[in-house]
Structure 1
Amino acid sequence: MSDGNAFAEGPSSLEMTRGGVSKGLLGRLRHLLYAGAVALAMLAAFFLQPLDQFSWVFQSRLANHAPSGEMVFVGVPRDTVDPALDHRREALAETLRELDRQGAGKIYIDVVFDEASTPEADKALSDAIAALGPRVALVDHIERSATSGDRIERTMDAIGGQAERVASRRTANWLGFVWTKQYGYTIDGKRQASLAAALAGIDDARPGEFQIDYTIPAGDFTSIEVGSIENGEEIPNVAGRTVVIGQEESVSDAQVKVPGNYGVPPSYVAIYAAESLRSGRTGFLDGLRALTIYTFLFAALIIAVRTRKRRQIGYFALVASIPALLYVGSYIGVRMELSYCIALLVVYGLFRSRAQLKDRVAMVDTETGLPRLRALEVSALKNNLTHGHIVVARIHGYEHVLRTLARDHRSQYILKLVDRLRASDSDLAIFYEGHHLAWHSKEDDTQVLSEHLEGLRAIFAAPVNVAGSSVDVGISFGVARLDGDPATRLAAAVAAAEESSEALQPIKVAETGSRFDQLWDISLRARIDEAMEAGEIYCVYQPKVDTARGAMVGVEALVRWHDPARGFIPPMHFIAQCEKAGRMEHLTRYVLQSACSAGRLMHFRGRNVTMSVNMSATLLGDLRIVGIVRNALQASGFDPRFLILEVTETSRIGDLATAATILEELKSLGVRISIDDFGCGAANFETFFELPFDELKIDRLFVSNLTTNAKAKAIASSIVSMGREARIMVTAEGAEDEETLRILNEIGCNYVQGYVLSRPISLTNLLKFQVSDGDSALEA
């Protein structure tokens, strides 16, 4: 079975934690645990019992073995017990006398005569039974009734006399099969050996049950019709052999089936059970033990085998072992419940397929169909690339393209750029994300590669024609030699591309061990995840104050990272690196859960403030963010009416229509939406008009210059007026002195954040915060 199918190892399998443990390994073990739990639940509910029984039927036919030859079945007509047919009883009496004359061993009469016939017929049968003495045993039948429980059918004492008695339960399961037999039964307070155990020479009526092996073909048993004895025909030798007298088969009303045979005499089940005891073929591997063993073997495979090809072989071996074990079990006489092992395999495969699908979706840009930059890192790791260079092309002026071209036309624009990059190699794999295009170059000589890139820049000198319009292209390159961890080298190439300049340095080479590696090393996904788990990434909270009332009305959650080795890492750096590593959703989920839990605690303490959380505009292209927010609210129990999502970097919204749909879905949860840094960049009137915002936050550029620049004051005043007219809350951030507060109150902006009121503080200090504290509040 291929990893590329049900057991696919998604790209995440290449990620490593800082301790060297593969995150893919942890993912596989986690999915195995989930699959084991599902299989165990099925086992507890006997959910797959029908499948097991069909597998046992199959197993019973895989291998055949010969009977012991110690037992002979004598079939009598099914109407032998009819009291109106007295001649049947007389014929049975004659059969018993003939078997006695031929030296038969122990005779078991598996027919119940519970009604009297004619005195002559009953006496003839009674005398024949008495004449056999201890060599005869009568079988009492235990019939199960749906209404009255077990019902005992036994031969009359007038016929049976003092003959030994054994018992047989005649009830099959809902499929018509009997898979186990008891060693004995309790009847009228006394223990009686079962017919099956007695036939095998075990007559101590011990407790417990045993498995029945059906691998003997029914036709191999010695069988005699009673009519043959009556007619004096030659019959098989019965001297010294155990004889079972029972009713002949009847396909029309048969209640008991034998695998591979239909309409066999009911007594055959006891004969099969006795043969199983005689040969020792009563082994049984129950579902719990089989599932436990299989799970441990599966886990050992996952842990011990690290290469994909070997895992493929291991997966195939696990799948192939199911029919192999059924065959071996049939051969050695061990029945196995393996359906839950199959369930484990299937459910694990489904989990891995789902993970692979999610990874595929995350690895591909939906607009262009091109793989993302993370896919380049995965490809480099998967193919163990250690030579050549990582090249990242930076598209200049891409923000203008986003604003002016429709969505379909933007994808055409990117694909035309890709065509130009493939001018010298039509099979070149290009990876795309944001305003970056990247690929792996096999060229080891950096100088030769730089000359090639200069030639590519010449190709890009001509504008691109999109939707009937000519669009100029500006491009520069970042290059990193692939001589270390591909994730680090890709990050270094991206950093170099960001440092490049069309005019001054169109090709920037990141040297090994340069500050680019140090700057972007923290973008590795494993380090970010581990930092969150260790509490190195955490939230601090900056109060939002209503200066008119002198009361704290809200809080903004701000994320911080303090690395034990590198110290405090600026938020702008590691947030950007989260985006490069594709971990923005994970970071947002982490901050949301922390902030909502803090908000719930504030409410519990009697302070019903709003909680604002920053949300990158890059997340407004996928409805998954709605599920993330919903889950955080449900997990924390925080009232959604008090949650405000502040959309940052609105210039990076790829499609305003899609973003509007997602924001409406978020608002349907009850949360409010804020536009951050309003008045700068693309956080402008068009964005405000197209998207359903509930709050505007005046950019700190204008707030910080209120006291010194009349234009800043005029812009801030117009934003406040616009918000009042549109009935939208307006908040000013970045107020750092009392004079700024005075001007804000003068223009009607009463909701303020800034160092003049409080720096970002820890949750502990936030719970103690009073507006009058002002600058005395402890900084987190």
Structure 2
Amino acid sequence: MRLPVRCAPLLLMAKKLFSSERLRHAAIAIGLAVLVGVGTFLRPVDITLWSLQAKLFDRPASSEIVFVEVAAAADPGGGSAENRHLLRSIRYLREAGAERIFLDLPVRRSNSPALDRELQRELVRSADKIVLTRVVRPDLVAGRFSQGNDPFFEQDMRVVSSDYQADFLGYVWDIEASYSDGTVNLPAMWSALAANGRSREGISLDYSIGRNSVPRYKIDELQPGLGGAGILAGKTVVLGPAGTDARIVKIPGYAFGPSSLVHILAAETALRGTGQNLGWLWMIGAFGLSLVLGAIAFRRAMPRRVFYFLWLASLAATFVLTAHLGVRALFGETLVLTLVYGSLRATVNFKRRHLFVESRSKLPNFVALQRDFGEYPREQTSIVVAKIARLDAVFATLSPTDQARYLRQLASRLALGDTRSTIYYDGGKYFAFFVNSGEFQDIQEHLEGLRAVASQSITVSQRVLDVSMTIGVDESSEKSISSRLSAAIAAADQAREAYRPVFIISDFAADSEEWDYSLQARLESALSEDRISIKLQPQVDLRDGRIVGAEALARWVDEERGDVPPSRFILQCERVGRLDELTKRILSKSLYAAEVLQARDHHPRISVNVSAIQFVDSRIAELIEKNLMIHSADPAKLMIEVTETARIENFSVARGVFEQIKRLGVSFSMDDFGVASANLEAMFELPFDEIKVDQIFVRDVHHSETARAIVANVVRLARDAGLTSVAEGIEERETYDLLREMGCDVGQGYYISRPLTLSHLQEMMTLQKDTPLLRNKFG
């Protein structure tokens, strides 16, 4: 069902509002507080707070209501003494001028009918002043005190309810205006006592009215001749039992007291005009709404902190104010709101300090970048990654403090032109930030200008340090943030300072054969289902044509697209961080092939391609060692063919990884020698055993003097350096013969053999072994 058009702006506004982390946290806190309020889980907390409020203020009672206690008389004669004592007390109270008399004790028949009739006549004679009480709902009070008046005495008398309801701790906080057992409904005694107060359905007792300020006497102290004349004139008197005959309740701040005091304090509350009840929904509504408005209004840290302080102060002030006004407020749910919101914000701040912040630079890290991505519009947001070359070499000369200064200066330069931009640092050589591509007519030109500024030398502790930087950009909108970040990092790796310092990932999209956004999902499936296989292209000794090795080439036949070129899916693996997974599978299959060939008494070297970027740490060494332990292949027959050696930025680190692998007995080959200028440096810095002459020279060696000169010099260089030379791309007999004349050691190409399956390679080697004359017949 589609929503009306007029609702769309409201939904958009709501979505924008709650994209804020603080608003989401406020909504969560309010929701949990409401659930707690509905479940009434925190009433013990409210009771504790009410008890504390009762101690904050101490107000005197009105003194219009007097509590007079009647001690039980010793009566072995069946109750006549008790009724006689009650009769004398009523007469005395009436003669003393009491305006109203509430008998908060049961009036029962005795063994003296004449005395009972006299007591009944006295009650009726003073019916305008005397009010009887009784328990309507025995389930609310202790059973032994629930015995009511004898109906004989209730005739023509006004009767009220002395019921009350205590909580599980024995306190009475709220009392109803009337009580009913289903057949009779009586007004509560407190409402009759406060006849001049405001009428209401129920009341919350204001315990700031001190119990000790209620006038309280023993009847024996007021009898004629014992003083007290004039004390009761014009007063309302509650005549109740004393000592253990009374129903006992807990009164905050005063331990225990007779239940008559509960109704007297409730009446005093009504006379004072207090006793209102402020429910949890009102509290959550007021403080929850103010919290939401504050989160919207205050975006900067300092004003927001001031708001939080005032918000907490207002909560404390409300606690004191409600105690002063005698209002019973439920604070438990609001405390839940406060604690939940505070915990969520504290957790976020902790993560920002520890999990979301790079410790050295104090800049937000890439985990924080993925968290913050939701606050930006996907369609217009580009992810930019700046790669700082040779950063490890720079840091080797700096103290930790100077390293932090260097990183912060780089970050401030990358933020030039956009003060709102947040710069993220991964702790290695990558910085990242978001750019609104809609704000720039030419984002490439903008980033090239930014790079020119950011690449200026940085001065740290009076030392001038160069900055070398390439930039990668991902402009897609459909992929996840992790995929986009990986793509931007891959683009920064793909960029070259000399001729293409800013590489935009959409450049791949211009050529559908280079970048296919659906490729990643299919590649993930192929890796997880182990559907990427290998073929083996034979390498022969050019002197006698004997097969001495084979290069393992990755092959992937997609169910939808058929054969996918290795250059395409290997690059995709690199972009999305799955290169190690691909290498692991190719290495395992290659070692298995070596195992099978070795079992058939064939011992060729198996070359496995590994990207130069995988030599930044020892993971590749651990991967190779683990696979060698699984397979029984001879490590000496494993050749690691390092591709794109120009991408090695730290030869010191790479050399350590090379040596770790060579200790396993494995050899190294440099692929595509002669294509990039860094190859000579790589050959000098790293312990290679073999160099492969790139096929762009080999293919033209028979037709171009320049190509022939290059190949001849590379072969001679390899021989002088004690390395094996391998020529790849041999496609015709003339090239094969010329390379052999030049002294090249090993050849590889379609003239010799196309890539073969393991069974076909095994068959070829068996045939060549059995028929030596076939060694020089290829194609």
The two structures have a TM-score, normalised by structure 2, of: 0.54
Which of 136, 139, 158 matches 2:133? Answer: 139
Change (3 A) 1:336 1:479: closer
The question of whether the paired residues in 2 share the 8 Å contact of 1:109 and 1:136 is answered with yes
Partner of 1:453: none
The corresponding residue for 2:331 is 338
**Once the 2 structures are TM-superposed, how far is the Cα of residue 82 of structure 1 from its aligned partner?**
9.7
Report the Cα offset of residue 44 of structure 1. 2.0
Which residue of structure 1 aligns with residue 435 of structure 2? none
SS in 1 for 2:62: coil
The 3 A distance-change label for structure 1 pair 498 and 274 is closer
Residue 360 of structure 1: CA displacement? 2.1
Q: 1:169 aligns with which of 146, 154, 163?
A: 163
For each residue in 1:391-437, what CA deviation from the matched residue of structure 2 results, as whole angstroms up to 9, or x when unmatched?
Answer: x9956285xx9xxxxxxxxxxx95x5332xx8xxxx65716xxxxx5
Q: Alignment partner for residue 417 of structure 1, among 385, 388, 397? A: 397
* CA apart distance, 1:298: 0.8
Cα shift readout 1:644-670 (whole Å, capped 9, x = no counterpart):
xxx99973775749999xx9xxxxxxx
Q: Which residue of 1 aligns with 2:316?
A: 323
Which residue in 2 is equivalent to 1:268?
261
Give the Å deviation of 1:335.
Answer: 1.7
Aligned residues: 517
Give per-residue Cα distances to partners, 1:214-271, cap 9 Å, x unaligned: 2211111122211113464222532232211112356x99641122112222111111
Q: Tell me: CA distance 1:678–1:137, structure 2 relative to 1, closer, same or farther (3 Å).
A: farther
Contact 2:132–2:158 under 8 Å retained in 1: yes
Q: Residue in 1 aligned with 2:340?
A: 347
User: 1:210 offset after TM fit, Å?
Assistant: 2.2
Q: What is the CA distance between 1:341 and its match in structure 2?
A: 1.6
Give 3-state SS (helix, strand or coil) of 1:282's partner: coil
Offset of residue 131 of structure 1: 2.6
Measured after TM superposition, the shift of residue 495 of structure 1 is: 4.9
2:153 match: 159
1:651 equivalent to 2:597? Answer: no
Q: Is the 8 A contact 1:61 1:215 kept in 2?
A: yes
Q: Is 1:191 aligned to 2:185, yes or no?
A: yes
Alignment of structure 1 residues 301-316 onto 2, 5 Å: 301-316=294-309
1:108 counterpart residue number: 102
Is the Cα contact below 8 Å between 2:414 and 2:454 reproduced in 1?
A: no
* CA distance in 2 between partners of 1:538 and 1:749 (Å): 42
2:479 pairs with 1:538:
yes
Judging changes above 3 Å, is the alpha-carbon distance between structure 1 residues 204 and 345 closer, same or farther for their aligned structure 2 residues?
closer
C-alpha distance in 2 between matches for 1:659 and 1:142: 84
SS in structure 2 of the partner of residue 73 of structure 1: strand
1:573 equivalent in alignment to 2:509? no
Deviation string for 1:137-190 (max 9, x for gaps)?
111114544999999642001233331111122431112211111111224523
Q: How big is each residue's C-alpha offset from its partner over 1:537-586, in whole Å with a ceiling of 9 and x where there is no partner? A: 338xxxxxxxxxxxxxxxxx99579xxxxxxx978338999xx9xxxxxx
Question: Match for residue 70 of structure 2?
Answer: 76
Q: How does 1:277-292 map to 2 (within 5 A)?
A: 277-292=270-285
CA distance in 1: counterparts of 2:277 and 2:621, whole angstroms: 59
Instruction: Give the whole-Å Cα distance in 1 for the aligned partners of 2:241 and 2:391.
Output: 94
Q: Which one-letter code corresponds to 1:268 in the other structure?
A: L
Q: Of 295, 316, 320, which aligns to 2:288?
A: 295
Amino acid at match of 1:371: S
SS in 2 for 1:181: strand
Are residues 1:430 and 2:404 paired? yes
**8 Å contact from structure 2 (residues 135, 148) kept in 1:** yes
The yes-or-no answer on 1:485 pairing with 2:419 is: yes
The correspondence of residues 592-671 of structure 1 with structure 2, limited to 5 A, is 651=614, 656=619
Q: Over aligned residue pairs, what C-alpha RMSD do you find? A: 5.9
Partner residue, 2:242: 248
CA distance in structure 2 between the aligned counterparts of 1:397 and 1:310, rounded to whole angstroms: 39
Separation in 2, partners of 1:200, 1:275? 7
Cα shift at 1:200: 1.4
Structure 1, unaligned runs of 5 or more: 1-18, 379-391, 402-412, 432-436, 443-477, 511-515, 540-556, 562-568, 581-590, 622-646, 664-676, 691-697, 715-738, 751-780
Tell me which residue corresponds to 1:94. 88
Residue in 1 that maps onto 2:380 = none
1:298-354 CA-to-partner distances (Å, cap 9, x unmatched) read: 111121123322222211122222231122112222221122222212211111111
Tell me, in whole angstroms, the C-alpha distance in 1 between the residues paired with 2:154 and 2:559: 91
Return the alpha-carbon distance in structure 1 between the equivalents of residues 489 and 117 of structure 2: 104
Counterpart Cα distance in 2 of 1:302 and 1:749:
71
Written as runs of structure 1 = structure 2, the 5 A alignment for 1:390-405 is: 394=388, 396=390, 398=392
User: Which amino acid letter does the alignment assign opposite residue 183 of structure 2?
Assistant: G
| In 2: Cα distance, 1:353 partner to 1:658 partner | 42
Residues in 2 aligned to 1:284 and 1:377: alpha-carbon distance in whole angstroms: 48
Counterpart code for 2:241: Q
Q: Secondary structure at the match of 1:169?
A: coil
Q: Any conservation in 2 of the 1:499–1:508 contact (CA below 8 Å)?
A: yes
Taking the aligned partners of 1:190 and 1:328, their CA distance within structure 2 comes to: 39
Runs (5+) with no aligned partner, structure 2: 1-12, 369-385, 424-430, 433-446, 459-463, 496-501, 503-516, 530-557, 561-568, 581-609, 627-639, 649-653, 664-670, 676-691, 700-725, 731-749, 762-779
Structure 1 CA distance, aligned partners of 2:172 and 2:413?
73
TM-score computed with the length of structure 1 as normaliser: 0.54
2:54 corresponds in structure 1 to: 60
CA contact (8 A) 2:106 2:149 kept: yes
Tell me the equivalent position of 1:371: 361
Of the three residues 350, 354, 363, the one matched with 1:357 is 350
Letter paired with 1:438: L
Instruction: Give the C-alpha shift of residue 193 in structure 1.
Output: 1.0
How far apart are the structure 2 equivalents of 1:79 and 1:262? 27
Q: Per the alignment, in what secondary structure is the counterpart of residue 58 of structure 2?
A: coil
CA drift at 1:127: 3.4
Please report how far the alpha carbon of residue 355 of structure 1 lies from its aligned counterpart in structure 2 after TM superposition.
1.0
Aligned residues of 1:620 and 1:659 also touching (Cα < 8 A): no
**Contact 1:83–1:115 (Cα < 8 Å) also in 2:** no
Q: Could you tell me whether the CA contact under 8 Å between 1:192 and 1:205 is conserved in 2? A: no
Are the structure 2 counterparts of residues 73 and 652 from structure 1 closer, same or farther at C-alpha, using a change threshold of 3 Å?
Answer: farther
Matching residue's letter, 1:310: P
Are 1:114 and 1:156, in contact at CA under 8 Å, matched by a contact in 2?
yes
- What is the CA–CA distance in structure 2 between the aligned matches of 1:75 and 1:290, rounded to whole Å? 41
Distance of 2:197 and 2:326 partners within structure 1: 23
Match of 1:44 in 2: 38
Instruction: State the identity %.
Output: 20
Q: Is the 8 A contact 2:141 2:163 kept in 1?
A: no
Structure 2 CA distance for partners of 1:136 and 1:687, relative to 1, 3 Å: farther
8 A Cα contact 2:455 2:466, kept in partner: no
TM-aligned CA deviation for residue 30 of structure 1: 1.2
Instruction: Kindly provide the amino acid, as one letter, of the partner of residue 104 in structure 1.
Output: A
* 8 Å contact from structure 2 (residues 55, 208) kept in 1: yes
User: Is the 8 Å Cα contact of residues 86 and 117 (structure 1) preserved in structure 2?
Assistant: yes
Q: CA deviation at 1:679?
A: 5.7
Measure how far apart 1:296 and its partner are.
0.6
Shift of 1:121: 5.0
State whether structure 2 residue 208 is matched by structure 1 residue 215.
yes
- Aligned counterpart, 1:224: 217
The 1:340/1:615 distance shift into structure 2, 3 A limit, reads: farther
- Per-residue Cα deviation, 1:701-750 (whole angstroms, up to 9, x for no partner): 99x989x9986699xxxxxxxxxxxxxxxxxxxxxxxx99x955645799
Change over 3 Å in CA distance of 1:271–1:571 after alignment to 2: same
Tell whether the 8 Å contact from 2:99 to 2:234 is kept in structure 1 after alignment: yes
Distance between the aligned counterparts of 1:80 and 1:129, measured in 2?
23
5 Å-filtered alignment, 1:441-456, equals none
